[in-house]
Amino acid sequence: MNLKHLNQAPTEVDLIIEARWLATAVKNAPLLEHYSVIVQNDAIVDLLSTALARSQYTSADTVSLDEHILIPGLINLHTHAGMNLMRGIADDLPLMQWLNEHIWPAERAVVSSDYVRDASLHACAEMLSGGTTCFNDMYFFPQATAAAINQAGMRANLGLFVSEFANSYANDADDYLQKGFESHDSWRGNSMISSSIAPHAPYTVSNRTFEKIITYAEQLSIGIHTHLHETRDEISQSETQYGVRPIQRLAALGLLGPNFTAAHGVHLLPSEIDMLSGHGCHIAHCPSSNLKLGSGIAPISSMLKNNVNVGIGTDGAASNNRLDMFTEIRLAALLAKGVSEDPTTVPAHQALEMATINAAKSLGLDDKIGSIEIGKKADVVAIKLSDITISPCYDPISHLVYTCGREHVTHTWVAGELRYSNGLYANIEPMELKEIIQKWQPKLRQHKQ
């Protein structure tokens, strides 16, 4: 009991969330029952039993959720929000054919600041309704994505995209970097947006450019986010062109380190997993995208056993078709069990940690988000566990991972502000989303396979 509250009038706070269950995502912490989260300004200031909370705190904004579990806001560790309107334009194709014959031509035809802002807002709406409060993005025109984030009220780490190839956004690698730094400067002071440098992949970025990226990332104290070992073709191409596998090339250049997040990591040798672990690198596991593109299944159980920090991402809607973290969490756990032939691999609580605190650690934000703890930002999601179609519930965390879907999310708070509740958004109108679809679908339709 907090003795400072004895014999005192209840303290007025901004928000009290009362829940049947509370999963903090703190390692080895127990599931809490009949607990309340106390929020002042944008942060969690107390966690205590609901009975005690009612005697010690009061708020004009008290939300009672006696059929719900509260979890930290989900963190989508790898996505391309600007591709959300390309959902379904090219399906059932291998990665390089998908990129060369459909996605890249579509991007050349439509991608602009206006397009990226609209598509990113659509992505923000999808993610908020599914309990995602923060995402790690990689796409062109990051300032346009920032505008969508600001409207939606989400949190994001925006990648400063880099490639050697010209498009409507930049002419060459140096131009990408310059535009990226201008974007980074534009959101300095915005507590909801952070940055990383995002070279697209080893097969689209030169050694010279990677060396510059290392220097700039160190100077700005920001991370590096890239695709790595997504397909066997990528590895074969690197061996032909450079004489080594991509991760060996990046290691020799000095890219690997605690600020390095690799998306996918599907085809990794045991020695390469050891390399990632030794350098303190992070993996963004995107199971649905890897399966849909036929890329393979990442050796997640081996990574986790070797202390590689693994988070979960959706990839973009063009290769996944859904920015649905509940699907990815469940699939990550099931695939790990199937591949290892061990049902104890990636238990439910660990799958939840991968989508929350592990992802926050990858972004260098684990002191602010990723778990429900006093002092952290109030990024909190409520999921209703009592719907008749998913009842009965015996173990709430197991139920969350193996039974629930994003349709069971009822409330999404970001920094203590309710951004989504039961089908309604705080700052996004359904009509605006419909107009966005009507505007861009005809322009994209011609690129459908």
Domain region containing 140: 74-362
Specify whether 92 is located in the same domain as 219. Answer: yes
Same domain, yes or no: 40 and 180: no
Question: Would you state the pLDDT for residue 7?
Answer: 58
Place of tokens 């934000």: 365
Same domain, 40 and 111: no
Residues 269, 240, 281: CA angle, nearest 5 degrees: 35
In the chain, how many domains are there? 2
Could you tell me if residue 156 is inside a domain? yes
User: Sheet holding 223-228: strands in order across?
Assistant: 74-79, 132-139, 155-162, 193-199, 223-228, 260-264, 282-285, 309-312
pTM exceeds 0.95, yes or no: yes
Q: Is the peptide bond before 392 cis (omega within 30 degrees of 0)?
A: yes
Q: Looking at the structure, do residues 92 and 114 belong to the same domain, yes or no?
A: yes
Rounded CA separation 373/361 (Å): 15
pLDDT tens digit sequence for 151-190: 999 999 999 999 999 999 999 999 999 999 999 999 999 9
Question: In angstroms, rounded to a whole number, what is the distance separating the alpha carbons of residues 95 and 160?
Answer: 23
State whether 326 and 392 are in the same domain: no
Do 182 and 127 share a structural domain?
yes
Residue 375 lies in a domain: no
Residues 260 and 399 in one domain: no
82: its two tokens: 């600007």
Does residue 424 sit within a domain? no
* pLDDT in the model for residue 127: 98
CATH of the domain at 322: 3.20.20.140
Q: How far is CA 374 from the centre of its chain?
A: 22
Beta bridge partners of 282: 261, 309
User: Is residue 43 a part of any domain in this protein?
Assistant: yes
Distance of alpha carbon 222 from the chain centroid: 17
For residue 264, what are its two tokens?
């996918």
The CB density around residue 427, as the number of other CB atoms within 10 Å, is 17
Q: Are residues 261 and 350 in the same domain?
A: yes
Tell whether 297 and 192 lie within a shared domain: yes
Nearest alpha carbon to residue 81 among 222, 185, 198:
198
Question: Is position 333 within any domain?
Answer: yes
DSSP sequence for 295-349: -----HHHHHHTT-EEEE----HHHHS---HHHHHHHHHHHHHHHHT-TTSS-HH
Report pLDDT for 449: 58
Question: Which residues of the chain register pLDDT less than 70?
Answer: 1-7, 447-449
User: Does residue 372 lie within any of the structural domains?
Assistant: no
